[in-house]
Amino acid sequence: MKAQEGTLTTVNLLLLSEIARSSSARHIFFQKIPMVYSLAARAHRVPLDLLYVMSVVLDGRESELRRSERLPLISPWVIMINGLAVRFRSIVAARNVLTQLENSARRVRIGLMRVHYQPRSDTGVLLSPLGNLSHSARILRTHFELGGDWWFAARCYAGHEVGYTKDQSGEFERKLQEHIHFPFEER
């Protein structure tokens, strides 16, 4: 099967075998998580499972983690405007819309991890899967270093970057914990 441009589909076997040795690992992590998640997670020392599941929950597709044989693939070219997600077929189409929104007062979040968009941001980086995930992983790592806990980091990310309220951030964390059942370790 040929990978689409901009996506990587090979598995980081070393990391998966490490997870497989964990007695509490669930079936989800034996499947193919796109390599782009692994690259961002390793670069910023963020748990791969947390980064992936966060993107699935942010996309509202967490129910697919429970019932699917395959992991959901999240569209990287998403723009969320005032809470409404719009998916695009290409980075060019998404960039064109962001250009039009540049001077608006709307709340805009973009990409796999719903990064807060600020006018004159580098949209090419934030709309690329690796750029978006790396930016988000760096923020998660910063929150982890401040609080010493990955759940704290996820709640802070949801509140600060995505714009969730305190209650919404708590619900976000609960959804993450439904799918991640083992303690995080430094990787």
Looking at residue 68, its pLDDT comes to 63
Question: In this predicted model, which residue has the larger pLDDT, 143 or 121?
Answer: 143
Task: With cut-offs at 50, 70 and 90, classify the pLDDT of residue 30.
Answer: very low
Looking at residue 2, its pLDDT comes to 42
Cα 153 to Cα 37, 38, 83, 85, distances in angstroms: 17, 18, 22, 24
State the virtual CA torsion across 107, 38, 147, 65 in degrees, nearest 10.
70
Q: Report yes or no on whether pTM surpasses 0.85.
A: no
Q: Which two tokens stand for residue 63?
A: 């129910």
